[in-house]
Amino acid sequence: MLKAKNSFADYKTEGHLWITLSTGQYYPDILPLACELYKPVLVMFGQLLKQSHSSTDFFLSISQVKPQWMRIQLCRVFRKYVSPETPVEMLKKKNSAMKICTQFGKGFRAITEVQHKFASRPIPDETLCAILWEYKDRGKKGYDLTERLFTIFREDFPNLKVVGPERSGKDVLLGDIFSNYPKPKRPVDFVIYDQENILAVGLARYDSDRGGAQEDDRTGQYRDCANEILNYAQKHKLNIKVIFLNDGPGLLLGSMWNDYADLENINSQKIKVVTLRMITERITREWLLS
């Protein structure tokens, strides 16, 4: 007789059967599409590069490009050719251009060297196009996960309401759903309601490949979040559950599965960690209302 599974930890020995694998694309099959998509980016990069008298001037000209998608791609190419130490997130912010030049400009590669290096590569540059292609679907697996989560919840709980960004979109801020929440800008990925009562809040993440410091940071942040929400709920006499939806092969790496299982030990009655395949079995209406 099979032993009943009561906790996330109980699934570990068969963990590979409970995770969802997101499909990918093969190399070099992606190269024709990648080159078609990013050739215009490299052409514009070359045009701006030719017109620039310094690497700082070059970056400032990139920061004025519209639309946003093109500007972000140009920034990624700029980072590869001119300033690999510049944080990616800073490059994405148009209003940070002068700040980047001030803080990192001294480390920019000389414009003449950039021009020489760029001219030595073909257009389109297959290698660079393949690298940019890797950015294209970054986050897509997470969007797929939340979209499927919403579909499952609506099928399993037609009388409950689940809200949040189903793919891309703004996170739900706890300050918008709870009055006087101690950290009003605390983001969550979904909230489950019964009529007007909040039953649960949740975070969703697809882990393709995690480990080391990133693994420790993620579960540490989850632990802080869970304690914060449950302490608020207790103080205000609210019956709220916390759901951590995590999926992907990263769960099988290192101590990840054990670390997530430990989250349930904070309060096994109020917290559940699940993969998509566990939702129907582990997230029940009875538990949400208990």
Q: List where CATH 3.40.91 sits in the chain.
A: 139-289
Pairwise pLDDT comparison (134 vs 261), residue with the higher score = 261
User: Is residue 202 very low, low, confident or very high in pLDDT (cuts 50, 70, 90)?
Assistant: very high
**pLDDT computed for residue 22 by the predictor:** 66
Summarised one tens digit per residue, pLDDT across range 235-256 is: 999 999 999 999 988 888 888 8
Summarised one tens digit per residue, pLDDT across range 80-100 is: 999 998 877 777 777 888 888
What are residue 281's phi and psi, to 5 degrees?
Answer: -80, -35
**pLDDT computed for residue 210 by the predictor:** 56
Summarised one tens digit per residue, pLDDT across range 35-72 is: 999 999 999 999 999 999 999 999 999 999 988 889 99
Summarised one tens digit per residue, pLDDT across range 210-235 is: 544 455 577 889 999 999 999 999 99
CATH number of the domain located at residue range(s) 139-289 in this protein? 3.40.91
Q: What's the whole-number average pLDDT of the chain?
A: 89
**pLDDT computed for residue 231 by the predictor:** 96
